[in-house]
Amino acid sequence: MRRLKPLDAAWLYVESSNSPMHVAGLQILSPPKGAKAGFLNDIVARFKEGSGKMVPPWNLRLVQSPLSGVLPAWEVDRNVDLDYHMRHSALPQPGGERELGVLVSRLHSHPLDLQRPLWECHLIEGLEGGRFALYTKMHHALMDGMAGMRMIQRAMSESPRNRSLSPPWALGRLKPREEEPRAASLSRRMNALYEAARRQASTLPEVARAMAKIWHTGKDADPGLVAPFSAPKSVLNQRITAPRRFATQQYELERLRRLARQADVTLNDIVLALCSGALRRFLQESGALPRRPLTAGLPVSVRPQGDDTLGTAISFILANLATDVADPRERLAAIRASTQRSKEHLQRLPKSSLDNYTAAFMAPFVLALVTGLGGRGRPMFNVTISNVPGPEKPLYFAGARLEAMYPISLLTHGQALNITCVSYAGTLNFGYTGCRDTLPHMQHIAVYTGEALEELERVFAGR
């Protein structure tokens, strides 16, 4: 039995029918040349070849006990029902991007069964040109985006000639964090709890100083940082319902990097500027653009190289999106200044303090969701925007080439839109997840992102 870290458990505390806390990945693949008619049926059959080889996190389920809602823990499920978790679907003709988006939106709207291992995998056939897709969702308490990318890489090959096939739940593993001492060893349990508490307590002074800076209080206040709850109210921050809408965009990485070099900013700054320009136009068209700038919550991976432990390993920073600035050059400069300052603030924290800092930083956000106040007052920030590094080389799955991969994220009350990007083989793939009812025309934001890119390219072309 393995207890969850507080941040991992928080994803379970805020779970509801309207805001399930799972994340997902969508991979679009082209079958190998000469693939037989039963190629996809063979993949499904081999996927379902017994659950005895299953490894964490795929075989972990929540312990069902009276205290599971307060102190959740994982246990190994030795009888995973693969017929339930692995599903085979087909798109209606003509099987285009629109039909795929409709199906994925529907699949992502439904919560996972909390009494089973918290994942589902859907193989979807019927895309134009014989292509197919894999949609895999997993609860955020089990993994973050970086861990998800590593699991995908382990299940695929860099060689198109490698036709071997092992399902991702049978390859490698995310390493469990140190398990609790056995109940019979009370002294070991008490010593472990004491040491954990001592280590956490030693970081509190540093965390308190960092929190004072970001909240603009005390002698260490830093007015250059974006403070939590300084975001304006907007249509992005209302209550949400269960149905989701999903949209995608894909851009050549070199195109974005060239623009970053011309503007003397980072690739992440360009991503934020594209999102800012798209959101500014989207809100402006409906007469809903706030006078004050929108702010973004940016998840930052703190997972060390080679760390494959279960759960999430992320912290957060806030950034000014400068949506109140009409000039795209000035808007980008304001974004650059904001992100630079926020990154410096986080990087000054010792690694030992990051868990406590993240828990303290996100506590008001989680509390608002637990108490039902999410989407009823001023938001902590307006939108979550994330950029996850993915595989740099083309990947193949049983000889099928991975053409594109898109992230699909979670929403909460007060956060009706999430924009997450994943890099892959020279491309940057944007996944836009929105609440269908709160933002009925959310897909326009995806289109406007491309137009924001063209606008910035015109601005810096003559530099």
Any idea which residues carry the catalytic annotation? 140
Chain-centre distance for alpha carbon 328:
27
Q: How many CB atoms lie within 10 A of CB 446?
A: 19
8 A C-beta contact, residue 266 and residue 260:
yes
- Report how far residue 148's alpha carbon sits from residue 140's, in angstroms, rounded to the nearest whole number: 10
**Cα angle value 285/288/294 (rounded, 5°):** 110
Within 8 A by CB and 6+ apart from 343, the residues are: 300, 317
**Cα angle value 128/133/134 (rounded, 5°):** 175
- Burial code (b: 16+ CB inside 10 Å, e: under 16) for 230-244 equals bbbebbbbbbbbbbb
8 A C-beta contact, residue 57 and residue 143:
yes
Helix (H) or strand (E) holding 450, with range, is: helix 443-460
- Report how far residue 22's alpha carbon sits from residue 73's, in angstroms, rounded to the nearest whole number: 17
Peptide bond into 391 cis (omega under 30): no
Nearest to 323 by CA among 297, 295, 288, 299: 295
HSE (CB half, 13 Å, CA atoms) of 141? 26
